Every structure is written in C-alpha cells, then in structure tokens.
Amino acid sequence: EHNLDLPEIRIPRDRMTVLTGLSGSGKSSLAFDVLFAEGQRRYLECLSTYVRQYFKILEQPRVDQILGLPPTVAIEQRTSRFGSKSTVATITEIYHFLRLLYTRLGRQHCPACGRPLEALSADRILALVGTELAAPGVQLTAPVVRGRKGIYRDLFARLGRMGFDRVRVDGIVLPLDPIPQLARQREHDIEVVIYESSATELDPLSRDQWVERALKLGGGAVHLYAPGGDEPRVYSRQLYCTRCRHGLAPLDPRLFSFNSRHGACPKCSGTGTALRVDPERLAGPPGVSLENGLLKLLQGGSPLERRRRMLQRFWLEELGLTPATVLSELSPELRNLIFAGGGPKRRPGLIPLLEKALEEGAAPNSWSRFVEPIRCPECRGDRLNAQARAVLFRDLSIAQLTAFSVADFRDCWSRFEPFSAAEWPILEPILKEVRERTDFLARVGLDYLELNRSGDTLSGGETQRIRLAAQLGSNLRGICYILDEPTIGLHPEDNQRLLDGLRELRDRGNTVIVVEHDADTMRAADHLLELGPGAGKAGGHLVAEGPFEALCRHPESLTGKWFGADPGGLEELQQGPGADLSAVRWLEVVEADANNLKGIDVRVPLGTLTCITGVSGSGKSTLMEDVIHRGLAERLGATGPVAAQSAAAVAASTRSSSPTPLTGSAPSTVAPASTPRPSTTAGCRALTGFERLTRVLNVDHNPIGRTPRSTPATYVGIWDEVRRIFAATPESRARGFGAGRYSFNIQGGRCEVCKGQGTVRVEMNFLPEVYVPCESCGGRRFNEETLAIRYRGKNVSEVLAMTIEQACEFFASYRGVLRPLQILNELGLGYLTLGQPSPTLSGGEAQRLKLATELSSHRTPTLYLLDEPTTGLHRADVVKLIRVLKALVAKGHSVVVVEHNLDFIWASDYLIDLGPGSGRSGGRVVAAGSPRQLLQSTNESATARALRREFDQTPLVKARAMG
C-alpha cells in the first residue's frame, strides 16, 4: 500500500505499540490505510446492505493477509472536522445523557411568563375546551405521532376503521380515504381530526364525549385550532400555564437537541450565532467616496443590483449627496439614513438589505469582510428554543449547565445534593457515564474547555483528546484503537496524563496503536516499530522494532541517532548568548483581553524567530490568531501597501512596556473603570510598532487544494515553467505545440476520457467507490501525441511521477524550477511526487508547501504566523524546519510560532510563555526572554520545568547547548 514494502510485520495484541520514523516513511499508510481500513471493512461486511449504504466504506488495502485484527477505531489529529453545531458535550456524548436527565427530572416552566407548569384535571380540560368549541369553525384534534419517521399506513387504516375520516399531517388536513402517502425518511406530526364545531350542532354526541375521546387518543393532550389557524392551543393533563392559558407537549429528549427541529432556536437554527453587518466595516477607510465604496458594492453581480436605482435615487436625489461625497465626513444622521433607512418616503437602509441577502444565502463571499458573528438575539447563544430553555433542573437550564467549564461542571454536582429517593435511580447511571468522560477530559488537560464550546473552534489535538475521552467513556473492550499523534497541542507538562489514559485503554483489553514522534510516548510504549530508512520511495521498510531502549542502541535506527545517549545532528539547537534584541523593533500589544487573556501587554521582537509557549488552553492561539493576526489584518488592510492575506491567496496570485521579568508572573494590566475602552475587533486596546511590516500571513494547516488537479508542482508555481521547457523542445515546436499543450486542466494535450486526472471513478453501490486507471491513457493524464514529446528522455507524465528529490537533479540547470524544489527538499518533502493530488497531503505537508512558496519568492517585510508547524515531523525534520524558518528571518522577515516541541522552543530567539494554567487560570504572561534566560532562571513556569527535565534526561545535549 503506497510506499510500504513489508513482507511481514507482527503487532502485539492488548499492548500499546508506537509507529515511528521520518515523515513520509509509511507510518500513516500502515496505521490508517491498511489496519484501520481493513478492520472497518471487515466489520461493515457483517452488516446488512441497508445499513452499509449510510457508511463510506474504505478501499480494501493491498495486502495478502491480516490475521488477528479486531474491529478498529481511528482517532485522527487532523484539524477539527466538526461543524458549528457540534460541541464538546455532544462530541463526548455527555449532552446525550443530560438530555435524558432533563427529560426525566427537568421541571417545565412557561416560556412566556416563567411560572412552573401544572397538570390539568380532565374536568378542567372539559370545561375549557367546551367553551372554545362553542365558537364555529374550531377544530379539535388528538396528537398521535410527534416528530417520528415512517409511512404509518397501518395507523391510518386503523383510524379509518374507528370511524375517523380526516387527519392533520404536518399541519395539512388530509382525508383518510385514500390513505395518505408519506415520505419514509422525514419526520411527521400526525393528529386525528376528532371534531369541528359548526353554527348548527348536528352531532349526536355531546362535546364532552368528543373531548374525552380526544384525550384518550392523544394520551392526555388535545389540540384546538382556530378557523384558519396553524398553531394549536394545547390542553394537557400534565403541562399547562393557568396565567397564559397555554399547554405544552410532554418532554422528549429531542426537545433539548439543537440539531433537531424540535429543539433548535428558530432564529439561528441551533448555531447560537447570527450575522450582523458592521457599519464601520461597510463604510470603509476614511476618505473613501460613495463612488468608490458603497455604489461599487451595488454594481454587476451583486444581489442588490435590482435595488441599485432605488438606493441611488434615495442617496443622490432625496438626500442630496454626490458620487464624490466622502462617507466619513457625513453627519451621524445622514449616515444613519444611508445604513438604517428612513426619510419621508421610508426608504429601506443598506444594512437591512444586506442582512436579508445574507439570511437567504445570496451574498457573495466578498461580503464576509462587512459582517461579524454575534450572539443570536433570540436565544442569546443558548441554541435552543424557548420551551427547551424553560425546563430547569436545580434552577438551571440545560444551556446554563453546559456553559460551565469541565472543571466547574465536575464540581457542581456536589452542590446539587442531596438527591431524593425518586431522583437517585434515574441520576445514578447518568452520573456514572458523565463523570467517566469529564474525569478523562480533566486528566488530559482539557478541563478548561466549556461544554458548549463549538466543535469548529477546536484544534486538532483538542479534537483528538475529546474523542479519546468519548471512547474511554464507552467501556468497549477488544478494540484496536489507532491514534495519530495524540500529543499534538499538548504541553510536555500534560503528556503524562494523556499517557495514563492510553494505558487505561490498553488495560481494559484493547490494542492501542499510536503514530508518534514524541520521546515520552515512545518511552511509555510496550513495543515500537520504526519505518524507514528514508521517506517516500526510500521508506516503507521495517528498520527496527522493540522497546525504546533497544531502538536507541540499534545501529540503523533514527530513534537511536536522535534520542540515544549521543544524539547527533543537533547543531541547529545549539544556543549562543541569544539573539541581540537591543537593536530590534518591537510589535507591541496593549491590554489584550480576547477570550481568556487577562488584559496583558505583550512585546514581540520583529526580525526574529519568536515562540509563544504555555500549557494547553493558556491563550497562545488566541494571542496569535485573534489578537496579532486579526489586528494586523485590519490595520495593514487599511493602511499598508499590501493587504493582509491568507496563505492560499498568496499562493494563487500601543504602548511601550519592558519584557516580563523571568522571576514571576506578569501582573494583569486592566484599563481603569473610569477610562472608556476604545472599541476594537482585534481583542486589544492598541497595537503598535507594525509600521515596517507590509503583510501578515497566517501559514495554517488548511488544505492547499480541494481537487486532484492541484499538485505540489502547480502550487509552488513551477509547472508553468516546466510546460514552457517542453514547449521549447525542437519536436514540440515542429508540431506547433505551445505550453498549453502540457496542461492537464485544459483541452488539447490532456486525455479527454479522464479529463487529465489519470483515473476514472467507478460507482459500486454498497461497496466503496473504486478509482481505476484510465483505459485510454493508462493513468498518464495526457494523450499519445503529447506523451510523444520528450525532454532529456522523459515525457510530461514521467516528470509528474518524479519525486521532488529526483526533480532537483533533473532540472538542475533551470534556476526558476530548481530553487523552489530545493526548498521543498530542505523542508523534508523530497519524497512527494510533483503530481501528487493536494487533497492527499497531510496538514503538516500543506503547511510546509506554503512555507516553500514564501521562501522562493522575494517578499517585502512580512510577519509569518504558524500554529504548531512541527505537527507530524520527526526530530530530524524538525531541525530542517528550524533551518528554513531561520532563513526567513535572515531575509528580514519576522516569524511567530505557537509550539510545544522542546527542540523548537530551545532554538527560538525569544519566548513568550503564557499561563500559569488553562482557561480562566491562564491568559497571563508568565515569562518572556530567550530560552537560555528561561532555563537559567528560577521561574517555575511549565515550559521552564519541561526544558530542565529534557536536559536532565539528555545531559550531553545540555552540555553542547550551553557550552
């Protein structure tokens, strides 16, 4: 499979095995593409074809035989795949148990007045309903199905035999003859129409008899519909508000699900957020005229184009403005008329029109710069509808309970005691499941997370540990768990707690396989398998196996070379006296208070490699992304010669304060209550010192391309030059072939059967999709005429199949091609082929490709921001990465990195250590200075302790580094 070449490999059952080796050596291929894929395939083959249609079945791995493989569960580290409607509570299944708790023990209150609901007696219902039915045209129904899927033919037939002739299905009255046809996979509400009042009473039965029959069929509840009304008035033996004269249906677990129409807030559909158009962003920078600003917004392609004439007439004729009018110079009254609307003719404002287009999904992506997410004004961020929010347990709604952090949630149950004899049998099994999950979240350092934290805001490491907590709570045994670098995002201080969790999984009778480079994890493993010796085609072999100590003594093991008694190749980690910061300029952040930051002042030296450190949840990513990146993006986008931009876009085209002393924590600096804080979207009061910067670039882990047509060669920009090289060959010129002939994205030279992709997808119904080589071109992407053209004996398809390392030698005489390839090789990506589809690249590989693009270009002074760039890298590759980032600094750029890797931390010029704890216990600057200063100080930060412990374990490294 891929580059694997393993005649035989043995992995011990019920043990923890670590797969290690260079990046690209085949670890993930063995773990996920072979073991996980085959384990999942075997399990799914036991299920019916009906069930299998709901699963994406992985392709069968190319392996002769696998014996003794149990069912597999993969817990990967890729950046959170959860959407905004997933939360920490739903991912860990804690929320499922809380929904059951509130269904059984929650006390309902009236959503309108807040009074507790009470039960109505049958006589009281008869009296109230009888009064309502005295008016003509009132319809009495009995609810028999509430929000359930199915076709219900038997139910309709039975109701017909009982003498009923009409039902109300999803709000529509239908006859029972013929039997209504319902969609099987949709949820339905079904009510039996019992009686409809009329001006002349003709029914032989009294109204009371009809009501009693409705109560019996409806399980103690009846609905009344006014003439032409869609919303019923509910009367129930269980839930009724005597003040508002309104009843509610009995509690159901779906009522507390914001992923269900029964419980989701109707305004935000369960996301808890809404979009608001910011007038300041819409107005643009000071000095922009209507002609160059708002009027341009209304031009071709805009959803507001049909409103353009009306708005222009309103602004230019009724308000007396001109296209040259500068918006920032208008009075607040005129600006309000433009944005909010009004005037004698009550003209609509621009902002309501924009917000309507956003709600309808008609807004282009370019409008995103005008909007900001806010809390939903209806549910105030709780995600649930009014009825669900009005159900309380111990005076707390389920939304209020899940707003607690994991630590506070664990503590709150002691305050809820004592539990009554009626409550405890329900609570005991629920609390057991919930506590197991929260205890593990705390053990792996995630007790700072709120249970309602949105899934799309979680890092890859947090996501993996949360899923691990869910698995520990499931109590499964006999499973093979496969994890991809679980220490990502975890400070070395917290590693031991994670390892305890992995050992617990193993001790329950499970097999644990971990892809990892972390030394602590390798030391804790029962067995290690090292793949290599190199990457790509040079990898895929079993180099060594055994316990950590045995690999450290193995003569061919990279583990022994880099982690043994005398590790070599660590020259990049040697520290001199530290970078000279006396002449550098400083980027200064004043009173940063985004998320859990405590109004801190931070100084970042420009022209250096700066590392932001701290335990998980201390505020590192908030400081870098929400404060520095967002703040500079806003300022440079308005004032700098080059707008702040994302890495993908680039590839496609305060107050002075001294550094925090190392002897203790920095005091929190908060603006006095009497001083108004200037409003800022960057999470700080001021940001200064960026005048010499022209760009800020967040080099993230996001994919560089979403289709197989994107490749490393096209991304770094060398493929255009390669096509020109082929077009310049004598045979190509003789045939009249231009550079476009060698593109697999346009017609002419590509194979038209597979459209230049080399493979054709074959649908297999309930089997996994199969991609087979194109029969026409044999997987070579191009037609025969194009493939006949050769340069130095290779055709264009063979060049795409070259590794980056091979291409460096092949194109050695072309500097425009060679330089980007050399940088990719230096970054440890020499094993990738030029034509490898971008979607198959890992997050770390994508991030290094973006770095290579920057290094190969001549950019103006830029601040590069990276979040854990060592993800997926062996120690040998970390040293290469450090070398490349220092090359960026040598070019006059600045690099700020959030990182936990101790090698990287030690090689940095300057450290900003946040803490001292996570969540509310973090958000302060614990220390700032060079790594040497931090190591030699008496400061007791988590990073200082981790550095000392690492040097105690490898004294030779310490002697070299400090020497």
Highest mean pLDDT among 60-74, 317-331, 659-673: 60-74
What pLDDT shows up at residue 830? Answer: 87
pLDDT value of residue 563: 79
pLDDT-above-90 percentage for the chain: 33
Among 124-128, 428-432, 732-736, which is the least confidently predicted range?
A: 124-128
pLDDT band of 126, cuts 50, 70, 90: confident
pLDDT value, residue 909: 92
What is the per-residue pLDDT for 653? Answer: 35
Closest CA to 628 of 651, 597, 583: 597
Segment 10-29, tens digit of pLDDT: 999 999 999 998 877 888 88
Q: Give the contacts of 876 (CB within 8 A, at least 6 positions apart).
A: 22, 558, 561, 562, 569, 828
Q: How far apart are CA 625 and CA 684, in angstroms?
A: 12
Q: Are strands 894-898 and 600-605 parallel, antiparallel or unpaired?
A: unpaired
pLDDT at 675 exceeding the cut of 70? no
From CA 899, how far away is CA 895, in angstroms rounded? 12
Q: Tell whether the model's pLDDT for residue 567 goes beyond 70.
A: no
pLDDT digits (tens, 9 = 90+) for 803-860: 999 999 999 999 889 989 998 988 888 888 999 888 777 767 887 888 888 777 767 8
DSSP state of 224: E
- In this structure, of 19-23, 305-309, 745-749, the range with the lowest mean pLDDT score is 305-309
Which has the higher per-residue pLDDT, 560 or 618?
618
Q: What is the pLDDT of residue 11?
A: 95
Q: Which is higher by pLDDT, 54 or 767? A: 54
**Cβ neighbours, 10 Å, residue 746:** 11
Residue 41 has pLDDT above 60, yes or no: yes
In this prediction, residue 67 has a pLDDT band, given cuts at 50, 70 and 90, of very high
Using a pLDDT cut of 70, give the percent of the chain over it: 87
pLDDT of residue 960 exceeding 50, the answer is no
Interval 688-694 mean pLDDT: 90
Q: Provide mean pLDDT across the span 85-97.
A: 92
Residue with tokens 């034509």: 835
Question: What's the confidence (pLDDT) of residue 401?
Answer: 96
Q: Which residues contact 80 (CB under 8 A, 6 or more apart)?
A: 455, 456, 457, 458, 459, 460, 462, 463
How far apart (Å, rounded) are the C-alpha atoms in residues 253 and 276? 32
Question: Which residues, in sequence order, are CB contacts of 60 under 8 Å at separation 6+?
Answer: 37, 38, 41, 768
Q: Residue 425 pLDDT more than 80? A: yes
Q: How confident is the model at residue 569 (pLDDT cuts 50, 70, 90)?
A: low
Q: Of 144-158, 643-657, 692-706, 828-842, give the lowest mean pLDDT range.
A: 643-657
Task: Name which residue leads in pLDDT, 336 or 360.
Answer: 336
Structural domains in the chain, sorted by start: 16-79+459-564 (3.40.50.300), 118-250 (3.30.190.20), 273-375 (1.10.8), 586-701+860-962 (3.40.50.300), 712-836 (1.20.1580.10)
- Winning range, highest mean pLDDT, from 96-110, 412-426, 634-648, 828-842: 96-110
Q: 319 pLDDT exceeds 80?
A: yes
For 485-492, what is the mean pLDDT?
A: 82
What would the pLDDT profile of 338-372 be if each residue is shown by its tens digit? 888 887 777 788 888 887 777 766 666 667 777 87
Better-scored residue on pLDDT, 555 or 527: 527
> What letter would DSSP give residue 623?
I
Q: Does pLDDT of 77 surpass 70?
A: no
Give the per-residue pLDDT at 301: 58
Is residue 713 predicted with pLDDT exceeding 50?
yes
Q: Cβ distance 920 to 408 under 8 Å?
A: no
pLDDT at 644 over 60: no
Q: How confident is the model at residue 649 (pLDDT cuts 50, 70, 90)?
A: very low
pTM: 0.73
- pLDDT per residue over 374-415, tens digit each? 899 999 999 999 999 999 999 999 999 999 999 999 999 988
CA distance 935 to 931: 6
Query: Which carries the bigger pLDDT value, residue 799 or residue 920?
Result: 799
pLDDT at 285: 75
CA distance 96 to 398: 11
Least confident of 457-461, 611-615, 875-879, 916-920: 457-461
pLDDT band of 115, cuts 50, 70, 90: confident
| Amino acid 771: pLDDT | 64
